[in-house]
Structure 1
Amino acid sequence: MFRSMRSDIQAVFDNDPAARSVFEVVFTYSGLHAVWAHRVAHWLFRHKWLTVARIVSQISRFMTGIEIHPGARIGKRLFIDHGMGVVIGETCEIGDDVVLYQGVTLGGNGKEKGKRHPTIGNNVFISSGAKIIGSFRIGDNSKIGANAVVLSEVPPNSTVVGYKARIVKRDGVSLSKLDNDKLPDPLIETLNSMDKQIRELKAEVERLQGELQRSNGGIGQYESKSV
């Protein structure tokens, strides 16, 4: 148990440059507290103390803002940074050396029984606000972009972004026209498209106004000659 706790603490130092001391990490890192509380709740869950396990998990949720179902299986050195709003479902399985940021959801998509939550491989990085919904696997060494919505399996060594999430890099090779590690920003793309359309519409309005003015001018000249 103490070896596991030491590795959890070391994971904080490995992933967070702001960590200064063991004392600070142990007493102020809510992600670490949530992981330790889950280990207790999971032990109770496996020994059929189901209600007690849920009470422990709910106390942890109240104290940390991180909800981990007691049935979830979590590997070694899970690091949850700024973990407020993280939700991990009952049948979720998480490998070793995984990093989660705030607002991540590892959830199910329905009321079916059995395995209904994702399986996260080893050394996976999941950015803020990402939603991984359903029973499928996220391959080892993969990266999930911020606010991505992942609804299908992700191969190992991949980078996925967007809604619905798409693979933009696999095995270090870009699968799109992106430059190296730059991730597409759907908001920027939408704003650029709107700006282009607005400029085109403005040009069309100016053209129509010019034609209308020329037409009105021609009518005025014809009326003045008639008079």
Structure 2
Amino acid sequence: MSQRIRMSLPADRLAKYVARQLNGHFPDAVLSGDDLAPAMPRALERLEHCFSHVANKYFFDGTRAVFSHLHGDQYAMWLYILGNELHRQGADADLCAKTFLLNKALHGCDIFYEVELPDIFLLVHPLGTVLGRASYQDYFVSYQRVGVGSNHDVYPRFGKHVTLRPGASVLGDCRVGDHCQIATNALLLDQNLENGSRYIGAPKAWVVRPEETIYPLWRQ
């Protein structure tokens, strides 16, 4: 793994670091790095795959992926992936929940460990962001204060290369096509978007414009 991703902490120290944070926030039981160890290899593989597609020197240095536990956006993505991987591997629900809640406490983002984000996604300073149980596809970008959730228990479905700008919300029975952007502070509610659309506004006053640009932070 060290040859594929340059890390600020080796995997064993990273596991111990997360365990200490979990113990500090949730002292009802004492955890160690060993409790996280089974999920670490696969979680780091997923992290490397995701970061290697980001065209930013803090995520990919031109040769390999880069991960710093002191980079807030990266660490928020890491805690989601770790909690989700623990869940996939059948770890104790309390451990998964604590990992989710640690992410919520540190970064103010709510991405439950059962939510399945795509293999390639990017969180951009995601304070106040809630990503619910929608259907996501690769090259998904979420900024701060984004909300994705249900309306009458129906969740959105996203295509590839979808970007949600700061304060954007997508709720309910929405099919968002490929290469779409939801503008800053826009609300898309129970409405579909065709491929290559930029949505601006809210249900009572909205406009859809062609979206011809590709998000600049993806490696082609």
Q: TM-score range by the shorter chain?
A: 0.5 to 0.7
After TM superposition, give the deviation of residue 171 of structure 1 in Å.
6.6
Matched, 1:28 2:67: no
Q: 2:87 aligns with which of 45, 48, 54?
A: 45
Please provide the CA RMSD for this pair.
2.7
Per mean C-alpha deviation after superposition, the further-off stretch among 46-55 and 130-139 is: 46-55
Give the TM-score of the pair, scaled to structure 2: 0.64
Matched, 1:104 2:146: yes
Matched, 1:130 2:168: yes
Where 2:82 maps in the other structure, the secondary structure is: helix
- Deviation string 1:51-107 (CA, Å, 9 cap, x unpaired) is 332221011111122110112111122111111111111x22221111111111111
Contact 1:136 1:153 in 2 (8 A): yes
Q: What percent of counterpart residues are identical? A: 21
Aligned length: 165
Q: 1:169 aligns with which of 209, 214, 217?
A: 209
Tell me how far apart the structure 1 counterparts of residues 144 and 53 of structure 2 sit (CA, whole Å). 17
Matched, 1:63 2:103: no
Paired residue for 1:85? 128
Tell me how far apart the structure 2 counterparts of residues 129 and 17 of structure 1 sit (CA, whole Å). 26
Contact 1:105 1:129 in 2 (8 A): yes
- Deviation string 1:27-55 (CA, Å, 9 cap, x unpaired) is 33322222222222223334374333222
After TM superposition, give the deviation of residue 24 of structure 1 in Å.
7.9
Give the TM-score of the pair, scaled to structure 1: 0.63
Where 2:170 maps in the other structure, the secondary structure is: strand
Per mean C-alpha deviation after superposition, the further-off stretch among 22-31 and 152-161 is: 22-31
Tell me how far apart the structure 2 counterparts of residues 135 and 170 of structure 1 sit (CA, whole Å). 22
Bigger proportion of residues as helix: 1
Tell me how far apart the structure 2 counterparts of residues 122 and 26 of structure 1 sit (CA, whole Å). 27
Q: Indicate how the Cα distance of structure 1 residues 132 and 102 shifts in structure 2: closer, same or farther if over 3 A, else same.
A: same
Contact 1:57 1:67 in 2 (8 A): yes
Tell me how far apart the structure 2 counterparts of residues 41 and 53 of structure 1 sit (CA, whole Å). 5
Tell me how far apart the structure 2 counterparts of residues 20 and 40 of structure 1 sit (CA, whole Å). 20
**Structure possessing the higher relative contact order (Cα contacts under 8 Å, 6 or more residues apart):** 2
Identify unmatched segments of 5+ residues in structure 1. 173-227
Tell me how far apart the structure 2 counterparts of residues 107 and 79 of structure 1 sit (CA, whole Å). 18
Contact 2:51 2:60 in 1 (8 A): no
After TM superposition, give the deviation of residue 25 of structure 1 in Å.
5.0
Contact 1:119 1:136 in 2 (8 A): yes
After TM superposition, give the deviation of residue 162 of structure 1 in Å.
0.6
Rg larger in structure = 1
Paired residue for 1:177? none
Q: 2:179 aligns with which of 141, 157, 160?
A: 141
After TM superposition, give the deviation of residue 11 of structure 1 in Å.
4.0
Where 2:79 maps in the other structure, the secondary structure is: helix
Letter in 1 for 2:79: A
Tell me how far apart the structure 1 counterparts of residues 60 and 51 of structure 2 sit (CA, whole Å). 12
Tell me how far apart the structure 2 counterparts of residues 163 and 119 of structure 1 sit (CA, whole Å). 18
